[in-house]
Amino acid sequence: MAVAGTTPDSVTLRAEGGVARRQAWSRASRYILLVATLLGLVVLVILGIDNAIVGIPSLDWDFLSNYPSRFAERAGIRSSILGSVWVLVFTVIFAIPVAVGAAVWMEEFAPQNGILTTVRLNIANLAGVPSIIYGILGLAVFVRLMELGPSILAGALTLALMILPMTVITSVEAINQVPPSIREGSLALGATRWQTVWNHVLPGAMPGIMTGTILAVARAAGETAALIMIGAFTFIAFDPSLSFHGLLDSFTTLPIQVYNWTIRPQPEFRANAAAGIIVLMIAVIGLNALALVVRDRLRRN
Amino acid sequence: MALASSPDGSDLSRAIRKRPLSRPGESLIMLSLVLCAAVSIATTFAIVYVLFADAIGFFQEISFWHFFNPGNEWQTLFNPRSFGVWELVLGTVNVTLWSMLIALPLGLAAAVYLSEYAHVQTRRFLKPLLELLAGVPTVVYANFALTFISDDVLLPLFGDSVSFFNSLSASIMLGVMILPIIASVSEDAMASVPRDLREAAYGLGATRLEVAFRVVFPAAISGIMAAILLAIARVIGETMIVAVAAGSTPTLSLSPLESIQTMTGYMLQVALGDAARGTTDYTSLFAVGALLFLMTFVLNVAAQIIVRRFREAYE
């Protein structure tokens, strides 16, 4: 029914008045929200550019191969790179078997009762414990009680406990994604439950476990507070020795060295800190990218 | 046989679980797997024991009331020394407040954009990039907060009214650090809001903006709350950024421009000095640590309870 007395000459679909305003707001909101989403990344880009400008002039072979020094232009990151690598290698050796073992038990063997629920909740809570608390734990248990001192071994054990919860969680997820039909097929052919886990479940879960491991290593590689707590804020001008006894040597790591240069009052150390940050960021971003690649490649196979 | 008579999947898996471990040595393997899982329980007990054993030593010297009396200062350097923890707690509250003020609008905007606006490919590209913000070593953020944010941005901007070490520079970088936590946990919550709700709203003529903020946002509010609690837990536990950039002056101020000290900042300061074992300086580390542990524990448990409840709501 036409409205009395008026006949519109043309019908238009364009909204008017309040509706048009609401639509305009909605269209604009897309860009406002996008800008807000990108703002954090903009800060990261500025951070990268700032450190590149300040740090790249100092970033040469001497910087990589020199020991730290009280003269900024002679100081380098040799002992901190070696320390980082050495501590991380042992962190992985300690953490990964335990994390995968715990995840296998939780997913494949644990009785479905209160014990399993307790273990699950416990791990979820441990994942939220601040790293400095793991540092206190390492100080009291590994450094003092077990008398390891602020050594590579104590540092690796502390970091291993710190990354354990997140590694267990990612391993549990990876094992969970192996289809039950694979287990049933193996069991139907007469394999024991352990043979099934070892030959079929773990290989299937490997991409997820490796991705989680690499991300955990990236986190441990950037950790500073926990290692300072155990007493690793020291001046190291020697290479860690590649012996069992070398595990009891004191050490420094790249983030600790960056911290050291950051809090020095002399401005000439600022370039060293920035150059150290560039190396650290390349390592961390590289590990994150590697995790993505490993996940994609192994998933495709 | 038993298996054949119970075709139901759950019966089958129960039957398989009961199957004996036939090969020799496998019980040893089983034992070692149980021990692996026990490591996590042992870690929790060790943390609680270590923190509270030395914290008790602290409270034998400093009374509980002295520690928690808001009228007492935190002044441990020279006599008469005073251990009123509120100044440290308020330092932590200070950076939490300002970093959340920065991260909350940005993180929620990012969550809404990724969940309601972005194309699938945009999301696949943006999400890992955004998550990288949480993977940057915090000492890198700490350096940037001090040398760039404080020195090159805040000092020219506020002049004399801002101190060189200030809570705002730390809060800005803490905000950047927790952005991905808020964005990603909230986005998960928004993504699990049923499609029907959105379609019903569109059917009634709502715009995308209205659907996002008046339908999806309220429906996902419990997940968003959990994201906020997790982010707060992350902020109060973070050490390097506040230790480097926020200063080392315990104070009851919530001002963003002043030098402050947080609980974690104090703990790192003790670790850097050489407090002899058994001294009040040394045991105060554990008392503050125990308080920090309790605070993060409560926040994490609350977040887990909320997440579990909200998952049940739509399943």
Residue A250 β-bridge partners: A151
What is the pLDDT, as a whole number, of residue A224?
Answer: 96
Cβ distance of A33 and B268 shorter than 8 Å:
no
Q: What ipTM describes this predicted complex?
A: 0.91
Is A290's Cβ below 8 Å from some Cβ in B?
no
Q: Tens digits of per-residue pLDDT, B185-222? A: 999 999 989 999 999 999 999 999 999 999 999 999 99
Q: What is the mean pLDDT of residues A117-143?
A: 95
Q: What is the mean pLDDT of residues A7-13?
A: 65
Q: In 3D, which of B2, B79, B75 has the Cα closest to residue B261?
A: B75
What is the pLDDT, as a whole number, of residue B77?
Answer: 79
Q: Which two tokens stand for residue A241?
A: 């020795």
Q: Tens digits of per-residue pLDDT, B291-301? A: 999 999 999 99
What is the pLDDT, as a whole number, of residue B26?
Answer: 83
What is the pLDDT, as a whole number, of residue A8?
Answer: 58
pLDDT of residue A9 exceeding 70 = no
Q: Give the start-to-end residue ranges of the domains of chain B.
A: 74-314
Size of interface A-B (CB pairs under 8 A): 259
Is A120's Cβ below 8 Å from some Cβ in B?
no
Q: Which of A140, A184, A284 sits opposite B50 (nearest CB)?
A: A140
**pLDDT band per the 50, 70, 90 thresholds, residue A116:** very high
Q: Tens digits of per-residue pLDDT, A67-78? A: 888 887 888 899
Percent of chain B predicted with pLDDT > 90:
72
What is the pLDDT, as a whole number, of residue A160?
Answer: 97
Q: Tens digits of per-residue pLDDT, B178-190? A: 999 999 999 999 9
Chain A CB contacts of B56 below 8 Å: none
Of A287-291, B17-21, B66-70, which range is least confident?
Answer: B17-21
Chain B CB contacts of A129 below 8 Å: 47, 237, 293, 296-297
Question: Could you give the CA distance from residue B107 to residue B187 in angstroms, rounded to a whole number?
Answer: 9
Contact between B267 and B284 (Cβ < 8 Å): no
Residue A36 lies in a domain: no
The label of the residue with tokens 């919860």 reads A165
Cβ distance of A136 and B289 shorter than 8 Å:
yes
Helix, coil or strand: residue B75: strand
Residue A34 lies in a domain: no
The alpha-carbon gap from A263 to the nearest alpha carbon of chain B, in Å, equals: 7
Residue A5 lies in a domain: no
Residue A69 lies in a domain: no
**pLDDT band per the 50, 70, 90 thresholds, residue A1:** very low
Is domain B74-314 annotated with CATH 1.10.287.130?
Answer: no
Question: Could you give the CA distance from residue B173 to residue B305 in angstroms, rounded to a whole number?
Answer: 29
Number of other residues whose CB lies within 10 A of the CB of residue B125: 12
The alpha-carbon gap from A299 to the nearest alpha carbon of chain B, in Å, equals: 17
Residue A21 lies in a domain: no
- From A258, which residue of chain B is nearest by alpha-carbon distance? B139
Q: Tens digits of per-residue pLDDT, B129-149? A: 999 999 999 999 999 999 999
Number of other residues whose CB lies within 10 A of the CB of residue B105: 14
Cβ distance of B267 and A229 shorter than 8 Å:
yes
- From B304, which residue of chain A is nearest by alpha-carbon distance? A124
Cβ distance of B54 and A140 shorter than 8 Å:
yes
What is the pLDDT, as a whole number, of residue A210?
Answer: 94
What's the mean per-residue pLDDT of chain B?
89
Cβ distance of B207 and A101 shorter than 8 Å:
no
Q: In 3D, which of A203, A174, A201 has the Cα closest to residue A109?
A: A201
Domain holding A83: CATH number?
1.10.3720.10
Whether the bond into B180 is cis, omega within 30 of 0? no
The alpha-carbon gap from B101 to the nearest alpha carbon of chain A, in Å, equals: 14
Question: Could you give the CA distance from residue B146 to residue B140 in angstroms, rounded to a whole number?
Answer: 10
Question: Could you give the CA distance from residue B249 to residue B289 in angstroms, rounded to a whole number?
Answer: 18
| Count: domains in chain A | 1
pLDDT of residue A100 exceeding 70 = yes
Cβ distance of A36 and B105 shorter than 8 Å:
yes
Selected for mutation to probe chain A from B27, B28, B36 (highest A CB count within 10 Å) is B36
**DSSP conformation class of A151:** B
Task: Report A:193-212 residues touching B (Cβ under 8 A).
Answer: 193-195
- From B104, which residue of chain A is nearest by alpha-carbon distance? A36
Q: What is the mean pLDDT of residues A41-66?
A: 93
What pTM did the predictor assign?
0.90
What is the pLDDT, as a whole number, of residue B17?
Answer: 66
Q: Tens digits of per-residue pLDDT, A173-182? A: 999 999 999 9
The alpha-carbon gap from B34 to the nearest alpha carbon of chain A, in Å, equals: 6
The alpha-carbon gap from B21 to the nearest alpha carbon of chain A, in Å, equals: 6
Helix, coil or strand: residue B22: coil
Chain B CB contacts of A227 below 8 Å: none
Cβ distance of B296 and A128 shorter than 8 Å:
yes
The alpha-carbon gap from B66 to the nearest alpha carbon of chain A, in Å, equals: 24
**DSSP conformation class of A250:** B
What is the pLDDT, as a whole number, of residue B19?
Answer: 60
Q: Tens digits of per-residue pLDDT, B1-41? A: 344 444 455 676 776 666 655 577 888 898 999 999 999 99
Q: In 3D, which of B169, B256, B275 has the Cα closest to residue A231?
A: B275
Most confident of the following: A262-271, B167-176, B298-307: B167-176
Q: In 3D, which of A190, A187, A205 has the Cα closest to residue B12?
A: A187
Q: What is the mean pLDDT of residues B231-242?
A: 96
Question: Could you give the CA distance from residue A88 to residue A218 in angstroms, rounded to a whole number?
Answer: 9
Chain A CB contacts of B30 below 8 Å: 109, 194
Task: Report A:6-65 residues touching B (Cβ under 8 A).
Answer: 19, 22-23, 25-26, 29-30, 32-34, 36-37, 39-41, 43-44, 46-47, 50-51, 54
Cβ distance of B212 and A284 shorter than 8 Å:
no
Percent of chain A predicted with pLDDT > 70:
95
Using DSSP bridges, classify how beta strands B74-75 and B82-83 pair: parallel, antiparallel or unpaired.
Answer: antiparallel
Cβ distance of B137 and A97 shorter than 8 Å:
no
Residue A2 lies in a domain: no
In which domain, by residue range, is A271 found? 74-300
Question: Could you give the CA distance from residue A296 to residue A209 in angstroms, rounded to a whole number?
Answer: 13
Whether the bond into B80 is cis, omega within 30 of 0? yes
Q: Which two tokens stand for residue B46?
A: 């060790």
What is the pLDDT, as a whole number, of residue B59?
Answer: 93
Cβ distance of B117 and A30 shorter than 8 Å:
yes
Number of other residues whose CB lies within 10 A of the CB of residue A56: 13
Is A138's Cβ below 8 Å from some Cβ in B?
no
The DSSP H or E segment spanning B74 is strand B74-75
